[in-house]
Amino acid sequence: MKTEKIRCPWPTVENMIHYHDTEWGVPVHDDRLLFEYLILEGAQAGLSWQTVLNKRENYRAAFDNYEAEKIARYGDRKSPS
């Protein structure tokens, strides 16, 4: 018997569908990915999730791919001291 995957009504564009089908509700144990989600959730305040996903690559670049050790060394101008 084939089980049909049911999708929620909110993913209506490709990046939202991909996020829904591959990430949303999936347990995460990777610290870097958890940190990314934390930053994205914070950015979502006041923005739609679609807007955040559209800018996801920009966030990765701005936060040096969420490398915590590198971010911890940021100075006043972002660059590591």
Kindly name the residue from 19, 59, 67, 74 that is annotated as catalytic: 19
User: How many angstroms separate the CA atoms of 81 and 74, rounded?
Assistant: 6
| Amino acid code (one letter) for 38 | L
Exactly one of 10, 24, 41, 67 is catalytic; name it. 41
Residue 19 falls in the annotated catalytic set: yes
Backbone angles phi, psi at 29, to 5 degrees: -125, 5
Q: Establish whether 49 is a catalytic residue.
A: yes
The token pair that represents 62 in the structure block: 């701005």
Q: Is 74 helix (H, G, I), strand (E, B) or coil?
A: strand
Distance of CA 6 to the CA centre of its chain: 23
Active-site residue list: 19, 41, 49
